[in-house]
Amino acid sequence: MTGHPAYGELRQVTPVASVVLENNPGSMTLDGTNTWLLRAPGSSSVVVVDPGYEDEPHLTTVLDTAPVELIVLTHEHPDHAQGAPWLASRTGAPVRAFEESLCRSAPPLTDGEVVVAAGLSMEVLHTPGHTADSICLRLAEHPAILTGDTILGRGTTVISDLGAYLKTLRRLMKEPDGVLALPGHGQELPDTATIAAEYLAHREDRLTQVRNARRKLGPDATARQIVELVYADVDKSLWAPAEWSVKAQLDYLNSHK
Ligand SMILES: [Zn+2]
C-alpha cells in the first residue's frame, strides 16, 4: 500500500479505465467502493460502473468528470448499486444490470452480450457466486476485466452459491495472460487468470477445512461453530460474513455427497 487512499479523486488506471474511490471503508468494502469510469480516448461521454452508495459528495465527483452515457451495475449490493437512481435522474443515463429490477430505461444484461458505449465494446460475463446476479465486464480495447466483488483487490469475497462460484472461477481462469483485473474494492491486479486460480485453490482449501471441521464437530454443527474452528486465523469482524460463506459451503457439501 502506498499511503492513504485518495478519496474523491479520479485515478487513471488504463487508457480507457479510471476509478474514483468512495469514502466508505470497512471490513467488507476494504478501502471503499471503486466506481469505474470507462471511455475510449477522445470519447466525450463515460460509462459509470458501480456508482456506490447514494453518497452525494462521491456521486458529484463522478458527475463532474464527463457526461454519463450509461450506468452499469456489477451486482445488486447497495455499496455498488444504491447510488444508481440518483445518478440516473441527474444524467438521464439508463441503468443496466443482470437483475431486471435494478434496470432503468433499459433491458437487463445477458451473458455474452456486447455493450457498446463511450466508444468502447464491453462483453458481459454472467459470473454468479458472490451473488446470483454478479457480472464481470470484459474490455476489448485494453485487456481488462471489471470483476465487481467476484474478485477483490485483496483477501477473498463472500460466497452465496459455492457451486456457481467455482464455475465462475474456472471460467475466469481461461482468460489469456495479462488481462488486468479491475475489482469493486481494492487495487487492480495484473492477471485475472492467475488470481482466479489462486481463489480456486483457496476455496478448495477452505472446503476441505469445513469438511474436516464437520467431521470433528458432528453433522449437527452450526455454521457459527465451524467458523470458530476454520476461520480462527481471520479477524473476528469478518466472522459474520464468514458464516454466510460457511453456509454456502455446507449447502455445497450437502448437494455433492
Ligand atoms: Zn461490494
pLDDT in tens, the chain (257 residues): 444 568 989 999 999 999 999 999 988 888 999 999 999 999 999 999 999 999 999 999 999 999 999 999 999 999 999 999 999 999 999 999 999 999 999 999 999 999 999 999 999 999 999 999 999 999 987 899 999 999 999 888 889 999 999 999 999 999 999 999 999 999 999 999 999 999 999 999 999 999 999 999 998 899 999 999 999 888 888 898 889 889 999 999 999 87
For ligand 1, the distance from its centroid to the CA atom of residue 217, given in whole angstroms, is 32
The CA distance from 60 to 90, in Å, is 10
Closest to 124 (Cα-Cα) out of 185, 49, 67, 178: 49
**Hey, what's the cell of 186?**
481494492
Q: Which of 185, 133, 126, 192 is nearest to 160 (CA)?
A: 133
CB 148 within 8 A of CB 183: yes
Task: Give the three-class secondary structure for 12.
Answer: strand
Task: Tell me the Ramachandran region of residue 241: left when phi exceeds 0, alpha when psi lies from -120 to 50, beta otherwise.
Answer: alpha
Q: What is the pLDDT of residue 200?
A: 96
Q: How far does the centroid of ligand 1 lie from the alpha carbon of residue 76, in Å?
A: 9
Q: From ligand 1's centre to the CA of 67, what distance in Å?
A: 25
The answer to whether the beta carbons of residues 75 and 149 sit under 8 Å apart is: yes
Question: Rounded to whole angstroms, how far apart are CA atoms 189 and 178?
Answer: 10
Contact 149, 113 (CB under 8 A): no
